[in-house]
Amino acid sequence: MKITNKHGVPETLVALASRNYYSKGKSDYSVTEIISPPQIQVLRRRHWEEMEQDVSEMLWSLLGSALHVVAERGQAEGHITEQRLAVAVDDVLLSGAIDLQHDDGEEITITDYKFTSAWALRQDKFEWEAQQNIYAWLVWKAKGRPVKSVRICALVRDWSRREAQIKPDYPQAPIQVIELPLWPLERTEAYIRERIDLHREAKVRGDWGEDLPPCTEDDRWIRETSYAVKKEGRKTAVRVFDNEDAAKVLADEVKGFVEIRKGEAVRCTGNFCGVNQWCKQYQSTLEAKDESAGS
């Protein structure tokens, strides 16, 4: 991966960004790898040398690194920060670095810091849930200690006080602690094995030049089409619906109009996976769009 500096950002940040890549130690797989879609992992490995990212676009991952340093400085009694644990699953070594473990002497609470957007925070976060439960499983296997709860400390990077005042489902503060369901250990272990198998199979398919397993709708972070009721002279929507008929009724009532906000696969279109230019699945959706626009 090549780090570019198109906007003359200070070299300190460039050096930090270059060092910033997630390490999985000596393990075969990291927790973040196995929970992410196999297609992304195979494409990232295949095109790693060609991948490029500008340091100016890495703000949030830089701040993520900074947060870990700050968190270590603010360590309280019973807190264990940034501990990497590794456990063998048959012939595969799986490892994960846990942001914060709070040990009360009997049980452990696991907390992971996430910089996220207000929109993302309101979506179903199965990946977060799976990741934290795998950490709980690692703690139990590697340390023999029970975990009492798993949670996320979300830092909402685009938080708006005004939105919080008018929308009850909007995060009410820029920092949110979210408790996640704690899975039985048997369920977690079955999930781990299933994910490792998927990644192994994708790797073999990739090595043989076969089509990779496609990303699912959840993997692609599908944002559904929505219908905003708007009025002339007003910047913000009166209300946003996921149903066009309901939007039309309100638009008639307030003498406004409906603006269609087309849904999209956010991870693909925003290239949050970093590999959309080499992804056959995404490129074929673009070709299909071109064809339907041309017909």
Interaction with ligand SF4 in 240-269: which residues (CB under 6 A)?
Answer: 265, 267-268
Sites for ligand SF4 among residues 274-293 (CB under 6 A): 275-276, 279, 281-282
220 near ligand SF4, rule: CB under 6 A: yes
Tell the smallest beta-carbon distance from residue 158 to ligand SF4 (Å). Answer: 22
Calpha distance 90→99 (Å, rounded)? 26
C-alpha dihedral sign at 182, 135, 66, 219: negative
Of 27 and 276, which CB lies nearer to ligand SF4 in the complex structure? Answer: 276
Residue 273 interacts with ligand SF4 (CB under 6 A): yes or no: yes
Write the CB contacts of 99 (distance below 8 Å, at least 6 apart in sequence): 68, 71, 81, 82, 111, 112, 113
| Stretch of 78-86, 104-112, 165-173, 215-223 lying at the interface with ligand SF4 (CB under 6 A) | 215-223
- With vertex at residue 246, the alpha carbon angle to CA 243 and CA 248, rounded to the nearest 5 degrees, is 105
- Given candidates 35, 180, 215, 229, which one binds ligand SF4 under the rule CB under 6 A? 215
Given the complex with ligand SF4, which of 27 and 36 has the nearer CB atom? 36
Give the span between the Cα atoms of 120 and 124, in whole angstroms. 8
Q: How far is CA 109 from CA 78, 179, 199, 215, in A?
A: 10, 10, 29, 32
41, 31 Cβ separation under 8 angstroms: no
Q: Which of residues 15-44 bind ligand SF4 (CB under 6 A)?
A: 37, 39-40, 43
Shortest reach from residue 220's CB to ligand SF4, in Å:
5
Residue 141 interacts with ligand SF4 (CB under 6 A): yes or no:
no
Which is nearer to ligand SF4, 90 or 217 (by Cβ)? 217
Least Å distance between CB 156 and ligand SF4? 23
- The size of the interface with ligand SF4 (CB under 6 A), counted in residues, is 16
Nearest distance, CB of residue 167 and ligand SF4, angstroms? 28
Q: How far is the CB of 281 from ligand SF4 (least distance, A)?
A: 4
CA atoms of 236 and 221, how far apart (whole Å): 24
Q: In the complex with ligand SF4, which residue's Cβ is closer, 11 or 210?
A: 210
Residues that bind ligand SF4 (CB under 6 A): 37, 39-40, 43, 215, 219-220, 265, 267-268, 273, 275-276, 279, 281-282
